[in-house]
Amino acid sequence: MLDNAGGMPHHRVSFSMYRLGHSGKVGMRHYRLNRNQSSCPTIHLDKLWTSVSEHTWVNAANKTGTAPITDVVRSDCDKGRGKGKLPKQPVTVKAKFFSRKAKQKIKGVVCSGWGGEGDLMAGSHMERGSLNANK
């Protein structure tokens, strides 16, 4: 058998043996499905510092200046995920959504020289332009 032709009439035995459940449709139809609306690209915390410039990285390591602001949306990602570890440097992360584990890890980053903790800026308010932090 070279192709899928004859799956019901004359290749029924081989289809029922080797391709279980191949025939027929499963589930309900979604008439005007637009996959772009359900798309939510993500970035993990271990890749978060790759979007920060090297100058900002050095300043954060030396604890000079303010805590760096990482805008995840600029790197074409909407959601911050909690995989990986963050360095012990406070950071402000801007994204549309955060997972529960990512929120815990970002807020848990505390450095004694800075005297603060990680900060989150999230939600649909970013689209309107205000930068109020939701904690």
Task: Determine contact, residues 93/80, Cβ cutoff 8 Å.
Answer: yes
Given CA atoms 60, 65, 70, 75 in this order, what sign does their dihedral have? negative
Whether the pLDDT of residue 1 is over 70: the answer is no
Instruction: Work out the pLDDT band at 119, boundaries 50, 70, 90.
Output: low
Q: For residues 128 and 135, what is the distance between their CA atoms, to the nearest angstrom?
A: 18
Tens digits of residue pLDDT in 18-39: 877 777 776 788 888 888 887 8
Q: With a threshold of 0.95, does the pTM exceed it?
A: no
Q: For position 22, what pLDDT does the model report? A: 72
Mean pLDDT of 87-101: 85
Q: For position 50, what pLDDT does the model report? A: 81
Residue 64: phi and psi, rounded to 5, are -110, 140
Q: For position 130, what pLDDT does the model report? A: 36
Instruction: Work out the pLDDT band at 124, boundaries 50, 70, 90.
Output: very low
Strands (E), the chain: 42-44, 69-71, 79-81, 92-94, 97-98, 110-111, 116-117, 119-121
**How confident is the prediction for the chain on average, in pLDDT?**
75
Which residue in the block uniquely carries the two structure tokens 């930068």? 131
Q: For residues 53 and 49, what is the distance between their CA atoms, to the nearest angstrom?
A: 8
Tens digits of residue pLDDT in 45-78: 888 888 778 887 788 778 777 777 888 888 888 8
Percent of the chain at pLDDT exceeding 90: 5
Q: For position 19, what pLDDT does the model report? A: 77
Specify which residues 79 forms β-bridges with: 42, 97
Q: Which domains does the chain have, with CATH numbers?
A: 42-128 (3.100.10.10)
